[in-house]
Amino acid sequence: MITLNGLTKRYGDKTAVDDLTLELTPGTVTGFLGPNGAGKSTTMRMIMGLDSPTSGTALIGGRRYAELDRPLRTIGALLDAKAVHPARSGRDHLRAMAASQRLPLSRVEKVLSLTGMADAARRRAGTYSLGMSQRLGIAGALLGDPQVLMLDEPVNGLDPDGVRWIRTLLRSLAGEGRTVFVSSHLMSEMERTADRLIVLGKGRLIADEPMERLVAGSEVRVRGPRLQPLADVLPAARWTGPDELTVAGQTTEQIGRQAYELGLPLYELRPVESSLEESYMRLTADSTEFGARA
């Protein structure tokens, strides 16, 4: 479990993270979203003890990262896929990590196999593509078989097979009861992977919602042969076809009751779901620091 309480980070007069309070629970893939400069990477760095909070706390299983006896067994993290000595082989990089935590070398071979890096592990890390570096970084995050996994943009550079692989991996780790915290700018992939979404904007918490609630539609589609009486009593209804209305601000139950009272038969009555991308753009419309004209 990761617990953030009033977590704040300021750089001079700029507030990168502003009074962030969250609890990330086991058994869940929590997605971390926000525009560039929103404070996502800074938050993750504070969790790992790489940046010191101006105020507030970031705890992993109730303890600060610096207080963990063997941190790789508690939390595995990938924050920068290229943060590897370029002259060291992938296998030697993981062996050095294992030695620092008194982990068996057999664990190195296991995570190399799991991430598809067994054949490339003898090569120098400096020769790796971004996708290979990501796989090595994920292998390092998994090395201690931790109960908490935190990944910053893990699908960058991965091919479609790799993207599907990591999606399946994250879902399976959460299914084992682990805490999985992952950031990404790929909305379609996050929509397939995450159970819960945290959205930041300019360092502040904008949303903390289950995935299904965040993409739930705020409009209802109604189809039927005689909808004019319904359109007359629903001011937020608009015609979207000869026998179809789209209604904002009403639930399916409310509209169904109105149709029943008017004696109107209906062919269809269902919420119109929005995509995660649409919901995200709506939430962050006023929080984008680096905007550009289309």
| Apex 56 CA angle, 50 and 62, nearest 5 | 75
Spatial separation of the C-alpha atoms in residues 21 and 204, rounded to whole Å: 10
Dihedrals φ, ψ of 166, to 5°?
A: -70, -30
pLDDT digits (tens, 9 = 90+) for 280-291: 887 787 766 655
Quote the pLDDT of residue 89.
96
- Burial status of residue 285 (CB atoms within 10 A of its CB: 0-12, 13-18, 19 or more): exposed
Three-class secondary structure of residue 124 per DSSP: strand
Rounded to 5°, angle at Cα 26 from 172 and 107: 55
- Give Rg (Cα) of the chain: 24
User: Measured between alpha carbons, how far is 84 from 113 in angstroms, rounded to an integer?
Assistant: 19
- Of residues 93 and 69, more confidence is placed in 93
- Which of 81-90, 105-114, 246-255 is the least confident region? 246-255
Residue 217's pLDDT is: 64
Residue 276 is given by DSSP the state H
pTM over the 0.85 mark: no
Q: Is 184:17 a contact under the CB 8 Å cutoff?
A: no
Checking 83-88 for CB contacts under 8 A at 24+ apart, the result is 83/137, 84/125, 84/133, 84/136, 84/137, 85/125, 86/124, 86/125, 86/126, 87/124, 87/125, 87/126, 88/124, 88/125
CA atoms lying within 13 Å on the CB side of residue 82:
6
**Res 232: pLDDT:** 93
Please give the pLDDT value at position 181.
97
Q: Which of 58, 17, 55, 41 is nearest to 203 (CA)?
A: 17
128-175: per-residue pLDDT in tens? 999 999 999 999 999 999 999 999 999 888 888 989 999 999 999 999
Q: 2-214: which CATH number, 3.30.420.40, 3.40.80.10, 3.40.50.300, 3.30.470.30?
A: 3.40.50.300
Phi/psi of residue 185, each to 5°? Answer: -100, 0
Nearest CA to 155 out of 194, 115, 195, 184 is that of: 184
